[in-house]
């Protein structure tokens, strides 16, 4: 791992729950010594990616982040086409909704919307989603390029007792996702969190990311699952349209099958 990755990796320890981090705390989080951590932080500070709270001396994300994000949206506009469908999804399901984008073979969180219906809800606060342990990741493997399966297999960390850690377990989840058009992960990443996700596409025609709903597992009923499924399909269609893509016929067919299991009169369209 290069110095650059190590240094920038420090930024991953920031979250909305932990927006400012002191030097010593950084050393503990990053499991590195003080001198190295300090130099990395001052380097990041020099380029504006972090700055120090002048009163507490704690470090926080710096202003350069804003400029980079502006450039990103100017280059690859994604965020705008996502916020409205995401809000609707969170509303309709009453759960936390989020969208991730595929970059190379990793899935980056793009936007989150938490519903206020329940007092308990899932907080998504992670930068890079593991491919094998999240519903979004399973969607990526199921509907993305074959290399994504290799990438998933190359990094099968066990997060909970339910994390799929064998190729067979992964393939089973992937097969189910391909059959229904919706991937599922029950406590695979975090215990007590039930995730469902659908693939989204952009103008390139290739898989671009995933839209997902994260529910408190104890709240999942057959009815809730059907609501999630319906709302997810709608959100995936909208985001795909906003990004200038089209949902592949095979995915639309899978969605149609599971949404109208018995009669299939309106399966066309």
Partner DNA sequence: ACCAATGGTTCATATAATGAACCGATGCAG
Partner DNA sequence: CTGCATCGGTTCATTATATGAACCATTGGT
Q: Does 18 bind DNA (CB under 7 A)?
A: no
Q: Which of 8, 9, 25, 216 binds DNA (CB under 7 A)?
A: 25
Q: Provide, rounded to whole angstroms, the least separation between the CB of residue 82 and its own copies.
A: 10
Q: Does 24 bind DNA (CB under 7 A)?
A: yes
Strands 193-201 and 183-186: antiparallel
Q: Does 204 bind its own copies (CB under 8 A)?
A: yes
Q: Which of 8, 9, 13, 22 binds DNA (CB under 7 A)?
A: 22
Site residues (CB under 8 A) for its own copies, limited to 115-174: 127-128
DSSP SS3 for 150: helix
Q: Which helix (H) or strand (E) holds 46?
A: helix 34-46
d(CA 207, CA 172): 20
Choose the binding region for DNA from 19-27, 67-75, 129-137, 215-223 (rule: CB under 7 A): 19-27
Between 68 and 253, name the residue whose CB sits nearer to its own copies. 68
Selection from its own copies, DNA, none that 248 binds (CB < 5 to 8 A by kind) is none
d(CA 140, CA 10): 26
Q: Which of 40, 113, 149, 237 binds DNA (CB under 7 A)?
A: 40
Q: Does 74 bind DNA (CB under 7 A)?
A: no
Q: Which of 84, 91, 98 is nearest to 116 (CA)?
A: 91
d(CA 201, CA 192): 29
CB 113 within 8 A of CB 85: no
Selection from DNA, its own copies, none that 34 binds (CB < 5 to 8 A by kind) is DNA
Q: Which of 122, 152, 108, 112 is nearest to 11 (CA)?
A: 108
Between 151 and 247, name the residue whose CB sits nearer to DNA. 151
DSSP 21: B
Q: Which of 15, 18, 19, 39 binds DNA (CB under 7 A)?
A: 39
Q: Does 51 bind DNA (CB under 7 A)?
A: no
Q: Which of 204, 209, 222, 179 is nearest to 104 (CA)?
A: 209
Query: Would you call 173 exposed, middle or buried from its count of C-beta atoms within 10 A (0-12, 13-18, 19+)?
Result: buried
Q: Which of 9, 38, 145, 176 binds DNA (CB under 7 A)?
A: 38
Q: Which of 4, 66, 172, 175 binds DNA (CB under 7 A)?
A: 4
Per the listing, tokens 């980056």 go with 108
Compute φ and ψ for 213, nearest 5 degrees.
-120, 130
Query: What contacts 203, CB < 8 A, 6 or more positions away?
Result: 243, 244, 245
Which residues of the chain form contacts with DNA (CB under 7 A)? Answer: 2-4, 6, 22-25, 32-36, 38-40, 52, 57-58
Which residues of the chain form contacts with its own copies (CB under 8 A)? Answer: 2-5, 7-9, 11, 14-16, 19-20, 39-40, 43-49, 51-52, 54-55, 60-76, 78-79, 101, 103-104, 106, 108-111, 127-128, 204, 206
């Amino acid at each position: 791992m290069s110095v650059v990755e190590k240094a920038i990796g420090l930024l991953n320890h920031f979250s909305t729950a932990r927006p400012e981090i002191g030097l010593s705390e950084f050393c503990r989080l990053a499991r590195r010594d003080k001198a190295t951590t300090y130099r990395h932080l001052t380097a990041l500070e020099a380029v504006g990616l972090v700055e120090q709270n002048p009163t507490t001396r704690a470090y926080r994300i710096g202003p350069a982040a804003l400029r980079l994000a502006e450039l990103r949206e100017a280059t690859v506009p994604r965020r705008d086409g996502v916020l409205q469908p995401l809000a609707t999804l969170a509303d309709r399901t009453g759960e936390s909704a989020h969208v991730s984008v595929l970059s190379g073979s990793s899935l980056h969180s793009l936007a989150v919307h938490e519903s206020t219906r329940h007092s308990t809800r899932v907080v998504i606060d992670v930068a890079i989603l593991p491919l094998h342990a999240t519903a979004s990741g399973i969607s990526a493997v199921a509907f993305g390029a074959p290399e994504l399966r290799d990438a998933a297999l190359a990094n099968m960390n066990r997060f909970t007792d339910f994390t799929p850690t064998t190729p067979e377990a992964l393939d089973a989840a992937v097969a189910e996702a391909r059959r229904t058009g919706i991937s599922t992960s029950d406590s695979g990443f975090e215990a007590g969190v039930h995730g469902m996700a659908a693939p989204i596409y952009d103008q390139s025609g290739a898989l671009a990311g995933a839209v997902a709903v994260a529910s408190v597992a104890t709240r999942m009923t057959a009815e809730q699952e059907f609501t999630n499924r319906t709302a997810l399909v709608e959100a995936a269609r909208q985001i795909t349209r906003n990004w200038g893509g089209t949902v592949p016929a095979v995915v639309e067919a899978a969605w149609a099958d599971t949404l109208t299991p018995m009669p299939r009169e309106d399966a066309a369209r």
